[in-house]
Every structure is written in structure tokens, then in C-alpha cells.
Structure 1
Amino acid sequence: MTPAAPCPCGRVDARGRPLAFAQCCGPFLAGFASQPAPDAETLMRSRYSAFVLQDGPYLLATWHPSTRPPAVDFEPGLKWLGLDVRDHRVLDPTHAEVEFVARSRLAGRGHRLHERSRFVREEGRWFYVDGDLS
């Protein structure tokens, strides 16, 4: 992914133009230790970009230790097609939920992942905890 390429998460600027990867999720993926996502929606978007780019270390680093798997497996041949963030609810200063639909294609068949994800903030960092699929 080049820095000028549109970010996989699909975030747009005020004029509706796609943000470049370098201005959107790129800094979070490149510098988790020094640049945490400022809110749960941004973390969720950066995690989607990490799935697109198959960045397992970032996904594990942003997964809460209480629910983190030992490894992240990527489906061979899966192509992520887009992300639609439907809702971002801040429940309190340390808890939030993000509802999204992620579209993908595998072996010529389209798929939709519709999830309401839960996030927790600890020591200034947001972490993905778990989610409910619809």
C-alpha cells in the first residue's frame, strides 16, 4: 500500500474525498506504540485496514488481552471490498461500541460481516474486546 493510495477503511474528508492511507490508518498501523487511535471508531477502521493488509501483529496488539487469540489467521484468497460504519456510540470514557458492515469476496462469492463491536480504553489506548454478529 502506498502512502498516497486511498485508505482501505473508506474514510473521507469534509468534501467526501477518500483520505490517503498516510493521512488515515497508516500512522496507527506503523506506530501502534507511539500513536494510538484516538477513539474506538478510528481503532475499528485501522483494524479493518490491518485485515486488508494482513497485518497480524497490529491486530493482536489492538486486541484486548482478555479475549485475544494466540494468532490471527487470514483466509487465503479473501478480498476485502469495503467498510460501512453504521454507528459509533461512546458509552462512557472507557467503553464504546461500533457497528459496521465489512464486505468481502471469496472464491467468487460475496460476503457481509455485520458486527456491533465492543471496545475498552485502558491507559490511554483503545482495544477491541469482542462483538456480536448480525
Structure 2
Amino acid sequence: MLNLYNGAQKKDEMEMRKVYSSKLAELMEKHNEIIALEADLMNAITTNKVQDKYPERVINCGIMEANMVGVAAGMSIAGKYPFAHTFTAFASRRCFDQLFMSGAYQKNNIKIIASDAGVTAVHN
């Protein structure tokens, strides 16, 4: 079982993109099963730096969120731990059916990371 949260909280404030990419790299170092999937947003969330270190485990699926969820479902079935990232609006609407049918209904272990929820998208 992959435990992503150990209960410790830091009080330092950081942008989500920096927290996500640094934590993802840390987890990927410890767990070879982790695969990062991106919807053409690697520069926005700074996973391009993670790809430099793990080029075979960071995959840009392009601007095809529903397809990315299908890829994540297949990877989950194959024993991988996929982390799929896109903007919040696309994660919650564009790929909802795929999330339900290939993710939740099939009980696949998929992590959806949704960033830039609207007015908070300062850097993009």
C-alpha cells in the first residue's frame, strides 16, 4: 500500500505547483510504480523538472484529459500508481465520464491532481 500522507504538516506556504512537483519527485524516488501523466501542462505545474530525472515515468498525454484517465486506468490495472494532472475545470468536467467508468466503477487506483481552480492561477 502506498501511503502518501504521514500526518506531518509544515507551516511554510508554497505554491501548489512547487509542492506537487517536489513531492512527486520524492515519491517517485521511493516507488518505481509511480507514473505521472500530464495534459500538456508540464511547464505550468513544473513536472518538466521531474521528467528530466525520470523521463520514462512522466508522460505527456496532450490536451486529452479523458484519454489520460483511460491511460491511468490501464496503468493501474497493470500495477502502477498513476498520478494524472490537469486544470481543475477539465478534471471535474471534461473527463467526468471516463473518471467514473474507467476509474471509480472499476475501482482503479488513480490519483487525480487538479490545479489552477480559477482566480488562483496567478502564474499561468
Q: TM-score, normalised by structure 2?
A: 0.29
Question: Relative contact order (alpha carbons < 8 A, sep ≥ 6): 1 or 2 greater?
Answer: 2
Higher helix share: 2
Q: TM-score, normalised by structure 1?
A: 0.28
